[in-house]
Structure 1
Amino acid sequence: AAPGEKGCGAHTDFGGLTLLLQDENPGLQVWDRHSKSWIHAAPVPGTYVVNLGDMIARWTNDQYRSTLHRVVNMSGRERYSVPFFFSGNPDHLVECLPTCLAPGEAPRYPAVTVEEHHREMYRRTYG
């Protein structure tokens, strides 16, 4: 990518967890809702970035939510990263965990399977 060219536009991950191995070239940016700006997530050698996906919000009634992020390669060099996306069994039912509900509170999301969740996310994104 040319310097300043997006490697991946702003998005959240659909599934449960993402593990990301980055090379030494920066590019990953995370949206800070409080300052309304992008924060550079500089690579740290020997580490992985661990990101929660949208499915975690369903399980936790939004106590934990996925992080809006993007990739902008401004290094002038090729940048490589290796993501591992974990979503679980497509038939597993994803519903709010009882410990994530306050007394009298209702789940914000209906129960769906992992597959149904992914189909809806793809429909919203690409449909």
Structure 2
Amino acid sequence: MTAEQVPQLSMLYKVATGTSQERGYGIALARAIGFPEEVLRDAEEISRSMVERHQSKQKSSEFRKVQRRRKLMLNLDETLRTLENSDMDQDAFQSCRARLRAEFILKMTEIEEEASRESDSETGPRPALTAAFVETGK
């Protein structure tokens, strides 16, 4: 094969904040430059396995977050019902209710932040890398 016959590949990258929506561009590149089919099949299987593992971790993390939120809401509901049935005067009731509200918001924020940290530790924050592959020549 002469130099003129070798296909040319232009790789265009755009770095942006966030995660890339493009999936499998490394495998697409390997296929475009003629990697053996066995290598491509292995790469696709490994990629599928990694995606499944990531999705499983996300579901587990999301489930824990939902459970903690439900528990927090049930505790708030129970406490508010107890307050309503108490002999507290109106000022004490309002004060207690305001304190409960602040505690609820704080705890809910902690749950959200913890879920966000878990998500970041599983995937790792990384900039998006979008690639476009253009084959030129013959």
Largest Rg, 1 or 2:
2
TM-score (norm 2): 0.22
Taking structure 1 as the reference length, what is the TM-score of the superposition?
Answer: 0.24
Larger proportion of strand:
1
Higher helix share: 2
- Bigger relative CO (Cα 8 Å, ≥ 6 apart): 2
